[in-house]
Amino acid sequence: MTKPGTAINSRKGLKICGGITVIFLIVLAIVIPTLWFTTLKPKDPEITVYPQGLENINPFSMLSMRNMPLNMTITINNHRNVGSFKFKNSTAYVTYRGDVVAEVPIRQNFILAHGKLNITISTVLMVSKMIRNRLFFNDVGAGSLNLTATAALHGKVNLFNLLKMRATAFSTCDISFSIFRRQVKSICKSKIKL
Ligand SMILES: *[C@@H]1O[C@H](CO)[C@@H](O)[C@H](O)[C@H]1NC(C)=O
Ligand SMILES: *[C@@H]1O[C@H](CO)[C@@H](O)[C@H](O)[C@H]1NC(C)=O
Ligand SMILES: *[C@@H]1O[C@H](CO)[C@@H](O)[C@H](O)[C@H]1NC(C)=O
Ligand SMILES: *[C@@H]1O[C@H](CO)[C@@H](O)[C@H](O)[C@H]1NC(C)=O
């Protein structure tokens, strides 16, 4: 036989316990998405692509070239992310008015949480292909040669070794070479997709 008092006490205890569980779940339901969106969710990396030494090229000397060796510096800055990013071998493409004029092989690599990667890759600018474009001389006359570099890095984001997610970092850079000012400007937009 149970005493009536004990039954009431345990029912009360159940209610309190249930109440605490509900509050706990509500707090979790608020805290986890907040943490996810403010801190944990992978943010867009900052990827920049810069052609080294392009500003020293005389466009008229390009006329006698077929291919021009060119070093591309690619910087991937992961400073906004609490997760690391590991990506597979990939190729970035440089286009001039829609024609692919350079291929830049990017080797598989790993970027730490809050880390930065700065790599220089040797490639070849297919000058003859640029010159063959009927707008090349127009562009030289107008004073600027504009290139576009695009890259897609497929890989995985790793959060504290607890959560691994497939992710792809996309980057597009508008590279503008002002011929008379001997200046190269590269403006990049990057995005990560899970
Ligand atoms: C590219 O970089 C390599 C190594 O740093 C260097 O030896 C080479 O001269 C550079 N090439 C050009 C075209 O700047
Ligand atoms: C990635 O590229 C490097 C050098 O080009 C090569 O040695 C390596 O085997 C490649 N890795 C994969 C997984 O294909
Ligand atoms: C990356 O390295 C290149 C040379 O390899 C250097 O010119 C450039 O300033 C570096 N960029 C950053 C952001 O460290
Ligand atoms: C090349 O880019 C520069 C800077 O973004 C711009 O001012 C110029 O009009 C562009 N030239 C062409 C031919 O698109």
pLDDT tens over the chain, length 194 residues: 445 545 556 677 677 777 778 888 887 787 777 777 677 777 788 888 888 878 777 777 878 888 888 899 989 888 887 888 999 999 999 999 999 999 999 999 999 888 899 999 999 989 889 888 999 889 988 888 899 999 999 999 888 877 888 989 899 999 999 888 888 888 998 888 88
The verdict on 51 and 90 lying in the same domain is: yes
- Say which amino acid occupies 52: Q
The verdict on 64 and 126 lying in the same domain is: yes
Residue with tokens 């316990």: 17
Cα angle 119, 183, 146; round to 5: 80
Full domain range(s) for residue 108: 43-193
Do the beta carbons of residue 155 and residue 167 sit within 8 Å? yes
- Please give the pLDDT value at position 7: 55
The verdict on 6 and 93 lying in the same domain is: no
The verdict on 17 and 93 lying in the same domain is: no
Cα-to-centroid distance, 59 and ligand 2 (Å): 35
| Residue 142: DSSP 8-state | H
CA–CA dist 100, 57 (Å, integer): 20
SS3 labels along 28-51: HHHHHHHHHHHHHCCCCCEEEEEE
The verdict on 163 and 68 lying in the same domain is: yes
CA–CA dist 35, 41 (Å, integer): 8
Ligand 1 cavity residues, CB under 6 Å: 52-53, 69-71, 122
- Please give the pLDDT value at position 68: 87
How many residues appear in the chain? 194
- Please give the pLDDT value at position 9: 65
The verdict on 106 and 176 lying in the same domain is: yes
The verdict on 101 and 76 lying in the same domain is: yes
Where does residue 60 fall: left (phi above 0), alpha (psi -120 to 50 degrees), or beta otherwise?
Answer: alpha
- Please give the pLDDT value at position 6: 53
DSSP 57-114: --HHHHTT-SEEEEEEEEEEE-TT-SSEEEE--EEEEEEETTEEEEEEEE--EEE-TT
- Please give the pLDDT value at position 45: 81
CA–CA dist 102, 149 (Å, integer): 9
For 38, 175, 189, the CA distances from 167, given in Å and listed in that order, are 18, 26, 17
What are 178's two structure tokens? 């002002």
The verdict on 5 and 17 lying in the same domain is: yes
39 lines ligand 3 (CB under 6 A): no
Mutate to test the pocket of ligand 4, among 138, 146, 172 (most ligand atoms within 8 A of CB): 146
- Please give the pLDDT value at position 41: 75
The verdict on 9 and 77 lying in the same domain is: no
Total count of domains within the chain: 2
Where does residue 98 fall: left (phi above 0), alpha (psi -120 to 50 degrees), or beta otherwise?
Answer: left
21 lines ligand 2 (CB under 6 A): no
The verdict on 37 and 47 lying in the same domain is: no
- What is the pTM assigned to this prediction? 0.79
